[in-house]
Structure formats: structure tokens, C-alpha cells
Structure 1
Amino acid sequence: MSEFHDLAELALNREGETWGNLGYWQTATEYSDACRALALLLGEQAGLNPQSVVFDAGFGCGDQLLLWLEHFRVARVFGANLSRSQTAYAKAKLARAGFPAAAAAILQANISDPEVWSAALDRPSHVLALDCAYHFPNRVEFFALAQQHLALEGRLALTDFMLADQHRTGSFTHRLLRWMLKRSHIAEANIVHRDIYLRQLQQTGFGDIRITDISEHVMPGFAHSIHTLRRNGKLSWSGRVKYNVTGRFLEWAYRRSILRYCVISATKMG
């Protein structure tokens, strides 16, 4: 059976890299570099260091796992990903890089399953969700699970979409947004205004919350990169359909001030 989250992103990367996020395009000009830049930004916002024990919720094909281990030199990584194909690819990638299961214990599973979190050998000091939380069945449930299983004063860090402050939910534009969210396998309840997002974090036991809008360095850049790849014939027919639609949607949502893309970090309280 086909998966919505599969290995399609491999076509966007240069050889040997398998990133799968929207990228941070402040200085990057190629997709792989922009994706790495977004992961670096998240790791820095989280405050990763050699003592960190990381739970990665939705680790893609493994490139970000290697970044946590090699660049930030974290002590240990574990996590879960819903995609069977991506998880298998990530396990093989970690093995080729010389990281045994003791250093990076990952599995294919639903992030909403409490047993996935309970199976960990250590309480994580950090929970990360790089460009994937909007796809979770229920993001507030994810916040609660992260808060429950994080070590005391542990950090949650993610990149995520929010509704722009000026966007009104009863508008015709919002009806178009709802249609696009459904097509993209994104629960409408996950896309909320900043004040609601902040309150959700607070109500699930987080404080010291930082939300930074990085939309201008993410959404237009991704759209432009897809246009360039399509123009240069780098995408298959299915890739052109999938990514061209995504790129045009993000360009529209940014230009019309409908969505904003942010990096968020918060500390477990009490």
C-alpha cells in the first residue's frame, strides 16, 4: 500500500542526501542546503549539546538524525516516524554512518501512541519535531505527551505553521485553506492563530516559550526552488504534480498573509 509520506523527497536532493523539509532559504540556494539550515536552526533554538538525549518525532529519512549526532554531538537519539519506507531508509543510513541502535534507537510507529514514548530507556532532555507537527493527528496531544515524558526542565522545539494574525477563519479564503489542508493530510485543528498556539503550550505545562516567525526565509524560498527544479526537468511527473501544488499553495498563503511558519521552543515546567 502506498504511503503519503514516502521517499519522494529524494528527487529534490543532491546525490547522497535525503532531506525532506521546507528549508531555510536566508542564504541557501539549493534544497539540500536549505533543509540542513532549517535543522541547524532548530537544533540551536533547542540548545542541543553533548549531554542531550533527543526524542525526534518524525525524523524523515535520517539526515537530521545524523545532524544531531555528528554536528551537535548529542549523547543519544531515539524517536518514531509513521512512514515505513522512511524509517527503513533512516535505519540503513544510520548503520552506514556507524551509529548502532544504542546511539540511535528509532522505530516506525504512530507518535500519538503513548507506548512509543514509554519504551524509551531514558527520559529525553529534548523533544524535536522538524517540519512535521502539523501532520500529527492531534498536535495538542503531542504537546501533552512531550511534557509528560520530558526530563524536568527539558526542552520542546519544533517548526510549525500558524494562521497569520490578520487571517479570519470565516472568510472565503479560509474555505480554500481548509480544502488545501485536507488534501495535504493536515488536521484543520492543528492550524491556529499564534495566541491559541501559545495558550495550548501553556495549558499542557510549558513555559519560557519563544515563537519566531521565519516565514520570509521559508515559504517563498521553497516555492522558488520547486519552480526551478521543475523548469530544469529535475522532477518526475508525479513529483511535478505534488510539489508544484505545494509550492504554489505556500507562495499564495504567504503572499495573502494566511499562514506563517515559525520556530518554537518551550521548557517543561514543574
Structure 2
Amino acid sequence: MNGFIFLAGMTVGVVAVFVIQTFRMKRFDLSDEILNLSPAKHHWGNLGYWENTQDYQTACQQLAVKVADAAGLNNESELIDIGFGTGEQLLLWHQRYQVKHITGVNTSQAQVGLAQQKIKHHNVSAFLHHFDHSAVNTQPDRSFTHLLSVDAAYFFNDKEQWFKQNLRILKPEGAMVVTDMVMPQQPSDLLQEFIMRLALWLCGIPKENVITLDDYQKQLAEAGFSQVETEDLSEFVMDGFAHWLPTYQASFAGLKDAPIWHKYTGTARLLSWLRKHDLLRYYLIKAKR
């Protein structure tokens, strides 16, 4: 490898650690309100599904609907959502699919508090818990028809064990639907490997969780899932968010230099780089017993 290129990569990486520190330290707070600056007063926080839209809230709703439709939510669904953010998707699923029962688990106390206010305001019955993804370990066997996780699973450590617990708490014919990041292949050189590891560290994503799709499917099979379907959403999620954010940021000239933007401009640039080098892809993954 060219020594200068490697040194340049190291320098960029070190600078990025300082410039995007907020990106790592405040992943699960309420800072994503800056992505929701509109009269609608929603508070979405996922990357969105950007087919035929340039509106953030519409894109986020489309991603939540895509997950719900893949799962087959209906008025008999008893679902648990792992990583529900501020609760926008819970309200959407309640209103659109009239789901029978909602349980939610989320790591941010601030987000859980806001979600609880929302469901109370809309008279939605839901059990929301401030805990991490391992909360599934405490749920009784065969408790839910659906387990959903939108834009969160790539943060979970011990995912192999998580899959096994997910299967345990699903009822017969139950479905798990998640969106997750997977590698199409291993990085081709040391510089790519270094930058990707740095990027994952900044995002708080455990490196061991980022595996190829084949290995992902093997983990699901070893956990006991027998029916697995996958769909590559990279174009309409990763590319969509990366293309939208700069235009959106520019529309708020008075806020363009606000430090809070670093978290999201860093995300957009990272997604563009990962796609350019085809190091990570964004998948919808459905697994059934």
C-alpha cells in the first residue's frame, strides 16, 4: 500500500474523531429534532426510505410501512418493537394496522419519555420500557406474533444470542423483521478496513456485528429460523438520505453552522463513502420459524 495514502487516511481518521465526537456520544438522544423542522411536529429518527419523495417525514413513514408490510401486521398482531425511537412508528402501526398489542424497548430514557407522552395523547395502549435489546431475554416464551426493529439492529451486540431469544418469544408462525447493515464482501485493502472500523466505532456499531449476508443467514438458521427473506434497500435508504441531507441543511441558512449538524453531515458522508466503495449495504430481513 502506498505509505502516503495510508498516512493521509490515518490523518483523516484522527481529525474525524474530534470533529464528529457528537456523532458517537449522542446517538440516542433527541437531536434528530433538527431533521423534523416542519409544522407537522413529528419526531422521526430513522434513515428513511426515499422512493418518490424528498420529504424526511414521508421517507421515515415509508420505511416504517415497508417493515410493517413485510411483517404482515394486522389487527391481530401482538408486536414488540426493539428500538422504537420517539414512538412515531408505534403510532403509525397502531393507526394504520390497528395492531392488537404493542410492547416497546428503547435505550434512550429521553426518547422513551417523549414516546410515552405521545401514546398517552393519542390514547394508544402500549407498554414501553427503558432498556436495551437484551430485554427480550425477560419476555415469556411465545409472547408475540411479530418482533420488529427499524434502523437499530446494527447497534446490538451479541446478536447471535439475540436471534435465539427472538425466536423463543415468537409465537408459532411468528415473524421477525429488521433492517440492518451487512457487508457484501470483506474490505479489499488495509486503508478501507481502517476507515470502516473507524466509521463503525464513531457510530457505536460493534465490528463483530457487521457480517456478510451469507453469514447473517447462517446465524438466523443456527438460531432456529427456517424461512428467511432479504431485500436490498441500499439505493432508497443510504443513497436517499445522503443525497437529501445537504439540500435540507442548506434550506436553513441561519442554522447551517450549528454543531448539531455534524452528527448528520457525518452520517451522510459516511453513507456515501460506504456505498461508493460498496463496503456496507442496507437490508430488510424477514425471518420466520
Q: TM-score, structure 2 length as denominator?
A: 0.86
- What RMSD in Å do the two structures reach over aligned CA positions? 1.7
From 143, 147, 162, the equivalent of 1:142 is: 162
The code of the aligned residue for 1:20 comes to G
1:196-211 residue pairs with structure 2 within 5 A?
196-211=215-230
2:198 aligned with 1:179, yes or no?
yes
- CA distance in 2 between counterparts of 1:158 and 1:255 reads 24
- CA distance in 1 between counterparts of 2:257 and 2:172 reads 47
Question: Kindly tell me: are residues 169 and 202 of structure 1, through their superposed partners in 2, closer, same or farther at Cα, counting changes over 3 Å?
Answer: farther
Q: TM-score, structure 1 length as denominator?
A: 0.92
Match of residue 73 from structure 2: 48
- Alignment length (residue pairs): 261
Which stretch shifts more, 132-141 or 53-62? 132-141
SS at match of 2:97: coil
Question: Kindly tell me: are residues 217 and 3 of structure 1, through their superposed partners in 2, closer, same or farther at Cα, counting changes over 3 Å?
Answer: closer
From 119, 124, 127, the equivalent of 2:144 is: 124
The structural deviation recorded for 1:207 is 1.6
Which of the two has higher C-alpha Rg? 2
Match of residue 105 from structure 1: 127
Q: Which structure is higher in helix share?
A: 2
Match of residue 12 from structure 2: none
Unaligned runs of 5+ in 1: none
SS at match of 1:195: helix
The code of the aligned residue for 1:130 comes to V
The structural deviation recorded for 1:26 is 1.1
- CA distance in 2 between counterparts of 1:108 and 1:82 reads 6
From 35, 58, 62, the equivalent of 1:12 is: 35
Contact 1:229–1:235 under 8 Å retained in 2 = no
Match of residue 86 from structure 1: 111
Residue by residue over 1:44-79, the C-alpha shift from the partner in whole angstroms, topping out at 9 and shown as x without a partner, is 011111110000001000000011111111101002
Question: Kindly tell me: are residues 84 and 169 of structure 1, through their superposed partners in 2, closer, same or farther at Cα, counting changes over 3 Å?
Answer: farther
Question: Kindly tell me: are residues 236 and 16 of structure 1, through their superposed partners in 2, closer, same or farther at Cα, counting changes over 3 Å?
Answer: farther
The structural deviation recorded for 1:4 is 3.2
From 269, 275, 278, the equivalent of 1:248 is: 269
- CA distance in 2 between counterparts of 1:127 and 1:91 reads 20
SS at match of 1:237: coil
- CA distance in 1 between counterparts of 2:229 and 2:137 reads 29
Question: Kindly tell me: are residues 93 and 212 of structure 1, through their superposed partners in 2, closer, same or farther at Cα, counting changes over 3 Å?
Answer: same
The code of the aligned residue for 2:259 comes to S
Contact 1:112–1:141 under 8 Å retained in 2 = no
Question: Kindly tell me: are residues 3 and 217 of structure 1, through their superposed partners in 2, closer, same or farther at Cα, counting changes over 3 Å?
Answer: closer
Identity fraction in percent: 32
- CA distance in 2 between counterparts of 1:155 and 1:104 reads 20
- CA distance in 2 between counterparts of 1:169 and 1:202 reads 28
The structural deviation recorded for 1:117 is 2.5
The structural deviation recorded for 1:250 is 0.1
From 57, 69, 73, the equivalent of 2:98 is: 73
- CA distance in 1 between counterparts of 2:251 and 2:165 reads 43
Match of residue 29 from structure 1: 54
Unaligned runs of 5+ in 2: 1-24
The code of the aligned residue for 1:232 comes to S
SS at match of 1:21: coil
The structural deviation recorded for 1:115 is 5.1
The structural deviation recorded for 1:236 is 6.4
2:175 aligned with 1:155, yes or no?
yes
